[in-house]
Amino acid sequence: MSGPSRVLVTGGTGFIAGVLIRQLLAAGCEVHTTLRDPRREPALRRLLGADTGEAREQLRCFATDLMADAGWAEAAAGCTHLAHLASPLPVGVPRDANELISPAREGALRALQAARDAGVRRVVMTSSVAAISYGHGPGEHRFTEDDWTRLEAPGIPPYVQSKTIAERAARDWVAREGRGLEFCTVNPSVVLGPVASADYSASVVIVQSLLQGRIPALPRIGFGVVDVRDVAELHWRALTAPGMADERFIACGGFLWLREIAAVLRAELGEQARRVPMLDLPDWAVRLLAKASPTVRAAAGELGTVRHQDASHAREVLGWVPRPPREAIVATARDLVGLGLVRP
């Protein structure tokens, strides 16, 4: 299979998408990208360095919505490859899980249908470790791409439901209606790393909240961390390597407790991290606070759980080597400070 010549990247204003689009443009690819609000195109072009010269001609923007058909056929026209990154990622917990499930599932199916109808050869979809490693009970677990989140388990958060249902639906659709369309997924853990603007991912809010002291003490929770540059690189490799049909790749640099992330910030940023908490929040206090807060309630369900998400498959098949999580954490923090997104 030859490499991509024209690639559709959905969700062009997204955290991962911006890094991937820059990589594609630098490689000489033509890029189509989708925006829900076309008024954001000038700012996006400036951010990507595609507002003048040759890069301006390489990039075209199309207005689409995950819940509507308009614009998808035009966006996919002439493309050889599709990277489907657009999906809702909330900061808080929605009242109704369908606020996340419906656009995630319907958007994936619209992107796939547009790709198939346009003759796209390969689709790489951004899923999540959320589709792999939840619903398996408390304690310490190690997950690979063979695992799936158990949606029948109690207390599965809406975001986790949305990523699991969307990936399942996409794989079922390709098997049933793909007509030879080559499909694989990249499943990142919590994505941190360089922040280019105030339009950043909800995952970055974790570091921002620590730096601003909005988390007064540290609950006993943790998660896998991966650098956005490495996630974009894994997408690139999945777009260009041979034999990617039905593949699935975990993207994770390693598991860290929240207190370990806080320690990295204090060690690397000094005075700029003066508001980062040092004290642990006892489990009983988290459970007490959970009675009044849906966000804390979600955290309470994570207490003490360790999810090791094994990225060795991506290393072995694609030669992908992620940065240490520490680098991603520090890059996030320094850019948040530099952009004035953390109050002095």
Catalytic residues: 163
**How many CA within 13 A on the CB side of residue 174?**
25
β-strand partners of 141: 307
Q: Over the range 285-323, which residues count as b (16 or more CB within 10 Å of their CB) and which as e? A: ebeebbeeeeebbbbbbbbebbbebbbebbeeebebebb
Alpha-carbon distance of 67 to 144, in angstroms, equals 31
Q: What phi and psi values does residue 189 have, to the nearest 5 degrees?
A: -85, -155
Alpha-carbon distance of 152 to 55, in angstroms, equals 47
Alpha-carbon distance of 236 to 39, in angstroms, equals 28
By DSSP bridging, strand 255-257 and strand 222-227 are antiparallel
